[in-house]
Amino acid sequence: MNVQNLKTLLALIAGGKDVDGSWEVSGFSSRAEAKDAIESLSRSLGDPPPAVRPRGLDRAILHADGASRGNPGPSAIAAIIHLPTGEELASVAKRIGRATNNVAEYRAVIEGMKLARDIGIRELTVFVDSELVMKQLTGAYRIRSRDLEPLAREVAAEARHFGKCAFKHVKREENREADRMANEALNRIEDS
């Protein structure tokens, strides 16, 4: 395998080109030869060493919170994913436009669940400080708001991606970091 040809091909692919349009420019004699070189490189890399993947990645905890000023008004969400050991894996905080506090709470849960799915979590425990949202998600309360029904269906659809998914209520003090991140994102709305 010609290493320089492979480097050139990888640089072209990283720049947005595909193999079909790059193999010849890279110096390979055929598309098949370029494909074989990529597959050989992939095999040589193998699986990452065990130390690279954090222990317990299959199970995680999600703290989600939404913030709204005006109800409805400018709103933001935050979600933080932790391992059971407390190590933070990922987080998201962003503005979502005009919404009620309950819509923001649901949207925070949805964004957090998508993030957990994207990083390969299989079992997820979701903590929210909105008793209403938690009781709706667990079926203890009926959902009467037409704005919340599609969001609850989206949460249910996301939950099916996990082997196990549970929803739990926490006091606001126990959700302090997600609350802080949501409010910081919301403040960015007001500052702009």
Each residue's pLDDT tens digit, 24-44: 777 878 877 877 887 777 777
Strands, DSSP E only, in 24-146?
59-68, 73-82, 88-99, 123-128
CATH of the domain at 107: 3.30.420.10
**114, 77 contact by CB (below 8 A):** no
Query: Do the domain assignments include residue 163?
Result: yes
Q: What is the model's pLDDT at position 46?
A: 66
Same domain? For 26 and 106 the reply is no
Q: What pLDDT sits at residue 8?
A: 80
Tokens 């000023």 correspond to what residue?
A: 69
User: What's residue 26's pLDDT?
Assistant: 79
Tokens 């802080």 belong to 180
CA 117 to chain CA centroid, nearest Å: 6
Contact call for residues 58 and 88 (beta carbons, < 8 A): no
State which amino acid sits at residue 37: A
**pLDDT score for 1:** 56
Domain with 186 in it: 59-191
Predicted local distance difference test score (pLDDT) of residue 50:
42
Mark the ranges of the chain whose per-residue pLDDT is less than 70: 1, 14-16, 19, 46-57, 189-192
Query: How many C-beta atoms lie closer than 10 Å to residue 149's C-beta?
Result: 12
Closest CA to 75 of 112, 115, 106: 106
Q: pTM here?
A: 0.70
Residue 54 lies in a domain: no
Q: Is residue 72 part of a domain?
A: yes
Same-domain pairing of 131 and 65: yes
| Same-domain pairing of 166 and 187 | yes
- 């349009």: which residue's tokens? 21
What is the count of structural domains for the chain? Answer: 2
Tokens read off for 65 = 């919170």
Q: Are residues 36 and 65 in the same domain?
A: no
